[in-house]
Structure 1
Amino acid sequence: MMRFLPIAALAMVVPTVATAAPQRIVSLNLCADELLLRLAQPGQVASVTWLARDERQSTVANLAGGIPANGGAVEEILAARPDLVIAGTYTTRTTVRLLRLAGLEVLELPPPTTLEESREAIRTVAARIGAQERGEALLLDLNEKFAGAASVQAPIRTAVIGAYGFPTGPGSLLDDLIGRAGFTNIVRVQDENREFSLEDALLLRPQALIIDAEPGGGPALASEIVHHPALRKLAADIAIVSLPSRLWTCPGPQLGTAVDVLRRAAEGIHRRQRGY
């Protein structure tokens, strides 16, 4: 069982913060994992979260092998002797607070809600770890994937169904992406005093439902909605588009993959509407 170190002792085991490119970076957040593993030089990453190795959630599982994984505990972070920690603004808050009290540099990344915020996260991490060239290459790749993403046809009315079967409104990265791929999110106003259910979404008469699931994958909470009685009655009129959340949660080239999946789905819906 791990023993917790007193705050006064923490400063004795961490290095002095430097402004040069860090050489032992630790990540405490999956999105930080993905950016770090794509941008950092070999040997520059001291530890990533255990989520980075999970192919169901991570887009860099192939890059995470062989790199020590952490569970976000302050003791294991300190044991890695990092000169930079990258964290999310809503994750491992106690660990982040203790690391800062110990004098360690922590770079926090807010969850992106737009494509531009995703680009900014790439720029921020690349600049701090001394990987500006790799960052620019990643941005160029992302921009090329989004070139011409906007649909010239009428937007398809859609509702986005998250992992627990409830629709998602505006203000998310996925909401930005679907607009670029030819969809429009019809779930705009939600009553803060109650959950906005699938039935509520269906009353808005969507042409499509985007669900957090693997295309052709196994059972999942989101994909189970296709068996909902209310939806079965409307199955002929509503297209189901499966899009796993690992493609649209974090900044990176996978966003281009997500918008490509959505664009092709939109084209298929328009073809069916035209009768061929």
Structure 2
Amino acid sequence: MQTRAALLLVCGLSACAPAAAPPASAPHDPQRIVSLNPCTDAILTKLVEPGRIAAISAYSQDPQASSMDVGEARRFDSVGGTAEEVIALKPDLVVTGAHLSPATRNALDRQGIAVQVFGVPATIAESRQQIADMAQALDAPERGRALLARIDAALAAAQSDAKTPALVWLGDGLVPGQGTLVGDVMDHSGFRNASADYGLASWDVLPSEYVVAHPPRVVFMDRRGSSAASGSREDGARRRRIDALQASGQRVQIEDFPQNLLYCGGPTLIPLARRFAQARQALR
């Protein structure tokens, strides 16, 4: 898919947004919460009872875009993100990511709807703080602490001082480099993010010939692709990349990396840490 990585890299701003209204203050104990972002969806559903969630984003009900269990996501009403949809739900709090358009934000402000914005964390520490901040905003301190404890346990189990060169290299060539949450979890889990070996920035695209000519010890790829693209050009390109790496004659281990692990922090840190730990244990 034209990957949701664009959501991590590009913030579309409207130059013609209406004049801003003063933002509403967040309620102490919100009971009708709407989430407009798949990352806030994933955290929200772990922190509050389902009855307090008026809607989550439609992204989380798409298997190729979700950072949470799709079956769980489909138990909730969803919104596409327009101000009209949100206002009709009469929420007392909206939680969302930094890519909310100014026009939508201004419309919600004019209706007196409180909005809490959460950015894209670049480190484990930032992700942990984001969970704590959301738990405070939702008046859910105990569930926040419980989620952090599960994340800390997964990270502790994955921790390693090894520095095995590795690269997360997605089907479209996208590579998360240094200064990204995925890169921080890699470092924590015993891998050295090899993106800098290719002169890449924090997020960059790496053509196949560079990886095949000088592969790191481990390459993480989404080997499954999207079901809608089965047999497509995208799947063919992925297969050619795998074949080229295996035929390179160099000692490289290819590990599966579901693209859904790339998008968010929060609860996603648990399967992300486990994926890296499993790959490290499988090193031959």
Place the TM-score, normalised by the shorter chain, in its bin. Answer: 0.7 to 0.9
User: 164, 175, 181: which one pairs with 2:189?
Assistant: 181
* Residue pair 1:49, 1:69 contacting (<8 A) in 2 also: yes
Partner of 2:269: 255
1:247 positional shift:
2.7
2:240 corresponds to 1:227:
yes
Q: Secondary structure at the match of 1:90?
A: coil
Q: 1:129 to 1:213 in 2, by over 3 A?
A: farther
Following the alignment from structure 2 to structure 1, what is the Cα–Cα distance between the partners of residues 58 and 114?
21
CA 117–49 in structure 1, closer or farther in 2 if over 3 Å, else same: same
1:205-251 Cα offsets, whole Å, 9 max, x none, are: 31111123449x86684884341364343266211111113234223
Distance 1:157 1:201 in 2: 12
2:90 counterpart of 1:76: no
**Which residue of 1 is the match for residue 136 of structure 2?**
127
Structure 2 matches for 1:1-276, cutoff 5 A? Answer: 17=25, 19-58=27-66, 59-152=68-161, 154-188=162-196, 189-190=199-200, 196-214=206-224, 221=234, 224-228=237-241, 230-234=244-248, 237-269=251-283, 272=284
Matched residue type, 2:263: T
Aligned equivalent of 1:4: none
Shift of 1:115: 1.2
Displacement of 1:261:
1.8
Number of matched pairs: 259
**Contact 2:26–2:115 (8 Å) recurs in 1:** no
Q: Determine helix, strand or coil for the equivalent of 2:87.
A: helix
Instruction: Name the TM-score, length of structure 2 as normaliser.
Output: 0.79
Amino acid at match of 1:198: S
What TM-score does the superposition give when structure 1 sets the normalisation length?
0.81
Q: Percent identity?
A: 30
Q: What CA distance in whole angstroms lies between the structure 1 residues aligned with 2:102 and 2:249?
A: 43
What is the distance in 2 between the residues matched to 1:268 and 1:243? 14
1:20 partner SS: coil
Supply the distance in 2 between the matched residues of 1:195 and 1:57 (Cα, whole angstroms).
20
Q: The residue matched to 1:125 in structure 2 has which SS?
A: helix
